[in-house]
Amino acid sequence: MQTKLFINGEFVDSIARGRIAVLNPYDNSQICEISEARAEDVDLAVEFASEAQRSWGRSDASGRGRLLLKLADAIEANAEELIQLESRDTGHPVRDARKLDVPRTAACFRYFGGMADKFEGFLPPVYPGYVNYVSREPVGVVGQIVPWNFPLMFTSWKMAPALAAGNAIVIKPAELTPLTTLRVAELMKEVGFPAGVVNVVPGYGHTAGARLAEHPDVKKIAFTGSTATGRRIVQASAGNLKKVQLELGGKGPNIVFADAVIPAAVGGSAWAIFHNQGQACIAGSRLVLHEKIADEFLQKFTALAKSIRLGNPLEEATEMGPLTSKQHQERVLHFAGVAKKEGGEILLGGKAPEREDLAKGCFVEPTIVRAKVDDTVNQEEVFGPFVTVTTFRDDDEALAIANNVKYGLGSGLWTTNLSRAHKMAREINAGMVWVNSYKVVHPGSPFGGVGESGYGREMGFEAMREYTYPKSVWVNVDAQVVPHYQR
């Protein structure tokens, strides 16, 4: 596996020769050590990216697209290696990495590979005697910061539209989970991406990440992570007023109405919160149940949660692996104590499993907590297999509960009433609403939030707009007539 920084098309040690231990969260054993990027390494990467930008930004869009398509093919050809690497590094069960992480990564690169030469400007109608055309220009060198919960998939979400639009990039994967991003860099070199167009600098947020956010030659910063860190990035970006794109925290309401198809809602709601151990910003972490079906739903939902198979993520039978780090396991368990202190009722879980084979790992049992609307666990993002339960009497109360948080990322509705579904979807403060489903994503559909969940969008044409700016060009077609002051 690759353990060095990727700068200007080569894998190199960091200047200070610092190292970061990468651990397997299943048993906290060390997988490897990687080079630690610091500010001086980021400066070097940005320097090479700036040089590469001059030609990459002017290159034939179809050529950029072909490279992205080749990369998608290479990812599929090396799928099993990436599956195993992602599972060891993050704790994702291999069944999920095989079904979702790797296919979605390839699909994202392929989608934007196809879009590279199809993202058009336009020709607005203007005054007689003039032609005005508006082109989309790459913003320039882009800094990208990828979180630890879906490192492979989010690498593609960040890289693909930026490269398709003609930007050179410096990307910082999380220090906890850098291995698949570095492997993608190897594949990019193999398929022929020019040196300097992509640079990978794994390191800590307060050093490498902070330098990337403040660097005067970085024209845009794209960040996925916590709201608190997002605020610091906005402050750091002010030096050169760089463009900022933020995909931050979430506290997704998942509303089940009395007319819902209960078996589908139970299964979908379990997927919404327990997939990837709940480590997802769009997780349906607040179950909002109509009082008429609450008891029936909870009985079936709790039974399903109890049946989830925890274990070694490298084993095909495992349905839930460990959380990605010991520190995060402790944070999630802390919230169980907070819930108890505030009078919440823990219906299931709230602790690490007692099985001997899981004792060394970062596991938390599927956790269900009955809590009041304003309790801490109903307001703050726990980011684990931890779901709260509240009930409602009518649609207005359900909507009030849904919107009673500072976040606005994902949300879900379970109902057979189409009119209600459209009305609620319109009124919920969220960037995404799923009806009779949850956590469905596609490269063609915009992904992002409102409020303290951030701004800007991943995916689709919206992502291409995020990585370009409109340039308006005016042409006087009658050169004999030039506007001038009248005396």
Which of the residues 281, 362, 452, 458 is marked catalytic? 281
Which of the residues 36, 86, 175, 247 is marked catalytic? 247
Which residues make Cβ contacts (< 8 Å) with residue 103, sequence separation at least 6? none
Q: Could you tell me the two tokens for 53?
A: 């930008």
Q: Residue 17: is it exposed, middle or buried by C-beta count within 10 angstroms (0-12/13-18/19+)? A: exposed
SS3 105: helix
pLDDT (tens digit, 0 to 9) for every residue of the chain, 487 residues total?
A: 999 999 999 999 999 999 999 999 999 999 999 999 999 999 999 999 999 999 999 999 999 999 999 999 999 999 999 999 999 999 999 999 999 999 999 999 999 999 999 999 999 999 998 999 999 999 999 999 999 999 999 999 999 999 999 999 999 999 999 999 999 999 999 999 999 999 999 999 999 999 999 999 999 999 999 999 999 999 999 999 999 999 999 999 999 999 999 999 999 999 999 999 999 999 999 999 999 999 999 999 999 999 999 999 999 999 999 999 999 999 999 999 999 999 999 999 999 999 999 999 999 999 999 999 999 999 999 999 999 999 999 999 999 999 999 999 999 999 999 999 999 999 999 999 999 999 999 999 999 999 999 999 999 999 999 999 999 999 999 877 666 665 5
What pLDDT does residue 485 have?
65
- In terms of C-beta distances under 8 Å and separation of at least 24 residues, what long-range contacts does 478-486 make, across chains too? 478/129, 481/129
Phi and psi dihedrals of 429, rounded to 5?
A: -85, 90
Tokens 């990459």 found at: 56
CA 486 and chain centroid, separation = 57
Which residues make Cβ contacts (< 8 Å) with residue 147, sequence separation at least 6? 154, 174, 224, 225
CATH number for region 253-435: 3.40.309.10
Q: Mind spelling out the 3-state secondary structure of 384-429?
A: CCEEEEEEECCHHHHHHHHCCCCEECCCEEECCCHHHHHHHHHHCC
SS3 209: helix
CA 324 and chain centroid, separation = 15
209 vs 52: CA distance, rounded Å: 21
283 vs 303: CA distance, rounded Å: 20
168 vs 194: CA distance, rounded Å: 10
**Conformation bin of residue 348: beta by default, left when phi > 0, alpha when psi is -120 to 50:** beta
321 vs 278: CA distance, rounded Å: 11
Q: Residue 483: is it exposed, middle or buried by C-beta count within 10 angstroms (0-12/13-18/19+)? A: exposed
Q: Other C-beta atoms within 10 Å of 66: how many?
A: 16
* Closest among 352, 334, 32, 16 to 176, alpha carbons compared: 32
- In terms of C-beta distances under 8 Å and separation of at least 24 residues, what long-range contacts does 446-451 make, across chains too? 447/157, 447/247, 448/247, 448/409, 449/247, 449/248, 449/250, 449/407, 449/408, 449/409, 449/410, 450/408, 451/406, 451/407, 451/408
**Conformation bin of residue 351: beta by default, left when phi > 0, alpha when psi is -120 to 50:** beta
CATH number for region 5-248+453-473: 3.40.605.10
Domain assignments of the chain as residue spans, ordered by start: 5-248+453-473, 253-435
162 vs 456: CA distance, rounded Å: 13
Direct distance between the N- and C-terminal alpha carbons of the chain, in angstroms, rounded to an integer: 75
461 vs 440: CA distance, rounded Å: 18
What pLDDT does residue 483 have?
67
**Is 281 annotated as catalytic?**
yes
270 vs 291: CA distance, rounded Å: 19
Classify residue 118 by its DSSP letter: T
Q: What dihedral do alpha carbons 71, 73, 74, 78 form, nearest 10°?
A: 140
The secondary structure of the chain in percent helix, strand, coil, rounded to multiples of 5, reads: 40, 20, 40
166 vs 24: CA distance, rounded Å: 36
What pLDDT does residue 486 have?
58
SS3 333: helix
Classify residue 445 by its DSSP letter: S
Report yes or no: 432 and 387 within 8 Å, Cβ to Cβ.
no
What pLDDT does residue 479 have?
73
What pLDDT does residue 481 have?
67
Estimate the crossing angle of helix 102-115 against helix 151-164, to 10 degrees: 0
Q: What dihedral do alpha carbons 235, 241, 242, 247 form, nearest 10°?
A: 40
Phi and psi dihedrals of 302, rounded to 5?
A: -65, -40
